[in-house]
Chains A and B, each alone.
Chain A
């Protein structure tokens, strides 16, 4: 009877289309990236091997170093500002009975929308003249601020919009972990007279450490590949204030003078950064007892 489930033809028919498509669009590009990164190919000439030239070139470009720095700002902002807020909001939502579902559903909304549409939407909200943020500030006599055109504000604006888009997603992740915890410990602590804040800090947070680790790692990975929001809102400007590695890559590889060699080299650098950072995190703070 197992003959039917041992038919190699059927097995192949079911597997080959997936494998073919996946290999062609995942494995093969990964392999060619690793090759083009060491060539000077620009799409037209014969690709010739240039060793580490592309890597040396980007690492000696101070614009790229600046882009790396901005990626680290993203990571720092995610870990030190977003994550504590995410935990706070998740704890608050878990602590209420009324409207719990409404809070959860609402905060999740931005994370299912297109980043480019969100970029346009916030470009309007932050518009210097008719945007509601400046209109609101003008009630207090504050002069219009050019949120996206001034170097000192552009990065802050992008960070806030990015946080606005993604926090709800992480809140729902953390909330699900909190709601899955057994109630007994919390109840016992309550009987012993622990306040809500004490229970949250000393019981709930330690218990949800694994999911916090996941959130931190996803944030690092997300911060390494952030690009859509930058391209749509500022294109990396003003004067590189919001340039990140991936937007540098896009400008370099898709600009007027395309260089696929340099572009793929940057891709590999981003990939390496993401692997190393999540690796370091897992080996240090993110250790779980599994």
Chain B
């Protein structure tokens, strides 16, 4: 009876874990199979022999490489810009002595968290069209960066508030200017929060689909989420190749997650609870 009690949570949880992991294992196996026929004949087993040609084909012929680099570079630049802008703003709002104005600005920025992203979708589309950047990476970079600002300012400001003011007082007595104070003293101290915010922003842009789908039409400029949909529609019948594409999309995030799981979980959940 006691053993049963001890084991039963593990049994139920293992089933759930299996349901979560099965699709990944399945696509990894399928990506190493030669064709649909092999997948259909032997859906659950290991590939007969490891067929790596899919990885070459998907990367080169199907242009996954192009989508991949577009995604990396958009996600990194917009996340980095967002973090730096938000950090500067959070510094001004929490450490500089303009308390009244700062309060108003802070509240104003937080309004953004009430507005669900795709409510602005059409209006942002019109905006980027008017700005003449529709169909360029700017049309994604700017909304991604802007979209991340409210939550980033919120999280970084919360962190900066907790830094004791003695440190900066000492620095100021030593003759440090406020810009130097910002990047020499406050930024390094805020690093944990900056990393968290960077990860959240990075994942947000890396995974974004709606804007990427409608604001970009040139194939060479597509990111992974939209490129993959086009890829699927083009290779409808070749599931081994589609699986390979999925593996390319998923593995980088999983590698990142393997190293930074605590940070990622903390970051992704912090936004929703505090918001």
Contact = CB atoms under 8 A, between A and B. Distances in A.
B258 to A, nearest CB: 9
B55 interface: no
A260 B43 contact: no
Contacts, number: 273
Given A18-B89, A132-B43, A196-B5, A172 B123 contact: no
Interface string A113-139: 111110111111101011010010000
Q: Mostly helix, strand, loop or mixed at chain B's interface?
A: helix
A15 B115 contact: no
Contact of A250 (B21, B210, B253, B257): B210
B116 A29 contact: no
Nearest to B126: A260
Interface in B205-260: 206-210, 213-214, 224-226, 228-229, 232, 239, 242-243, 245-246, 249-250, 253-254, 257
A225 B243 CA distance: 28
Contact of B16 (A89, A111, A130, A169): A89
A288 interface: no
A227 B118 contact: yes
B74 to A, nearest CB: 13
B122 interface: yes
B88 A176 contact: no
A258 B254 CA distance: 39
Contacts of B196: none
A218 B113 CA distance: 13
Contacts of A123: 232
B205 to A, nearest CB: 10
Nearest to B150: A22
B188 interface: no
B164 interface: no
Contacts of A188: none
A120 B246 contact: yes
B249 to A, nearest CB: 5
Interface in A72-99: 89, 92-93, 95-96, 98-99
B172 A1 contact: yes
A228 interface: yes
Interface stretch (A5-13, A60-68, A147-155): A5-13
Highest count of chain B CB atoms <10 Å: which of A89, A109, A263: A109
A22 B120 contact: no
A257 B39 CA distance: 41
Given A18-B149, A129-B40, A132-B26, A5 B97 contact: yes
A130 B35 CA distance: 11
B116 to A, nearest CB: 5
B272 A33 contact: no
B210 A227 contact: yes
Contact of B203 (A112, A168, A218, A225): A112
A173 B257 contact: no
Given A10-B179, A26-B146, A15 B265 contact: no
A111 B116 contact: no
A10 B12 contact: no
Given A110-B20, A112-B203, A30 B120 contact: yes
Given A29-B120, A274-B116, A36 B249 contact: no
Given A114-B208, A267-B122, 18 more contacts: A10-B96, A14-B96, A15-B92, A19-B105, A21-B142, A26-B120, A27-B111, A36-B123, A105-B261, A109-B20, A112-B268, A130-B40, A135-B40, A176-B269, A214-B273, A249-B122, A253-B125, A267-B119
Interface of B: 5, 9-10, 12-13, 16-17, 19-24, 26-27, 30, 36, 39-40, 43-44, 85-86, 88-89, 91-93, 95-98, 105, 108-109, 111-112, 114-127, 129, 142-143, 145-147, 149-150, 153, 168-169, 172-173, 176-179, 181-182, 203, 206-210, 213-214, 224-226, 228-229, 232, 239, 242-243, 245-246, 249-250, 253-254, 257, 261, 264-265, 268-269, 272-273
